[in-house]
């Protein structure tokens, strides 16, 4: 008779862990590993990284998932290397070689001139190898069947591009960009602006919103710690919105707020504020023009 392994006792634990995702695994696989290590009842990540990309993947546990969309919508920063002279079907090293073209002689001045075309608001055509859906089916499923459909260009914002280094056939960049930017497409388009083809050989995220990568925060590091030590690494559940204004709940009204009830408050109107009772965060609220404190996201901590 086969013995079944004991079930993990899930815990009501909340907070944010700033994972340094390794190469070779999906964001969901990394998420599930972190969730298992914390024995969390609920977990979610804040913007997927491809298996061939590494770096910062904030993991929201428990009540922190109520704020995860703020990080999904936030500005991201990457370091990336574009190999020049060859494009691939996927825009990175996972795909098959597509087109080859000689690489013109590169100079710093020529590269910087090309990069200027891609700063600010630009239009970008999403790649076929993406999770965008057409009639309910992800585009990458169609791409794997050799089907290509027309995609509409979408506006994205490249806040900054810095040239870190270059060789005769590669450029390494530091890119700060808006939600929805495909770095693979950006790499291909920059290569074309330089008069050749290109694909990504390296992609590493170093910033998401106001969170910066902590290189040592790996899955292996988490595995080496005790449960108490892991908990000490967690940021508060409200960390994704810690930049918002903070107010104290009106005296005697904390419990009412936690039940989702409005209160009068002597504070100017604000679309979003974090509400505290002493040092405890109760959640997110709106303050109306009539000075009413209206709960929007209540934390159950």
Q: Which two tokens stand for residue 16?
A: 């944010």
User: What Å distances lie between residue 127 and 59, 66, 67, 151, 237, CA to CA?
Assistant: 26, 30, 28, 8, 34
For residue 4, count other CB atoms closer than 10 A to its CB.
6
Residues 191/198, Cβ–Cβ less than 8 Å: yes
The CB-side HSE value for 4 (13 A sphere, CA atoms) comes to 3
Q: Which of 50, 73, 92, 189 is the catalytic position?
A: 50
Active-site residue 50, yes or no? yes
Decide: 168 and 142 in contact? Cβ < 8 Å.
no
Catalytic residue IDs: 50
């Amino acid at each position: 008779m086969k013995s079944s392994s004991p079930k993990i006792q899930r815990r009501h634990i909340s907070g944010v862990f700033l994972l340094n995702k390794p190469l070779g695994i999906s964001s969901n696989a990394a998420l599930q590993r972190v969730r298992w290590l914390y024995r969390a009842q609920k977990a979610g990540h804040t913007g997927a990284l491809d298996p061939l990309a590494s770096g910062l993947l904030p993991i929201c546990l428990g009540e922190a998932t109520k704020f995860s969309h703020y990080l999904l919508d936030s500005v991201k920063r990457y370091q990336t290397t574009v190999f020049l002279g060859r494009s691939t079907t996927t825009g990175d090293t996972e795909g098959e070689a597509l087109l080859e073209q000689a690489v013109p002689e590169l100079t710093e001045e020529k590269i910087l001139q090309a990069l200027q075309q891609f700063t600010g608001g630009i239009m970008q055509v999403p790649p076929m190898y993406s999770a965008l859906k057409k009639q309910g089916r992800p585009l990458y499923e169609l791409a794997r069947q050799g089907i290509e459909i027309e995609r509409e260009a979408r506006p994205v914002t490249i806040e900054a591009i810095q040239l870190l280094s270059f060789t005769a056939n590669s450029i390494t960049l530091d890119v700060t960009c808006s939600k929805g930017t495909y770095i693979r497409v950006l790499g291909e388009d920059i290569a074309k602006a330089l008069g050749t083809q290109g694909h990504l050989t390296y992609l590493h995220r170093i910033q998401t919103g106001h969170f910066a990568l902590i290189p040592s925060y790996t899955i292996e590091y988490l595995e080496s710690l005790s449960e108490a030590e892991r908990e000490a690494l967690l940021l508060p559940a409200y960390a994704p919105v810690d930049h918002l204004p903070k107010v104290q709940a009106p005296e005697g009204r904390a419990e009412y707020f936690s039940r989702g009830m409005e209160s009068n408050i002597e504070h100017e109107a604000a679309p979003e504020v974090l509400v505290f009772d002493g040092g405890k965060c109760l959640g997110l609220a709106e303050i109306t023009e009539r000075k009413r404190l209206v709960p929007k996201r209540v934390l159950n901590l």
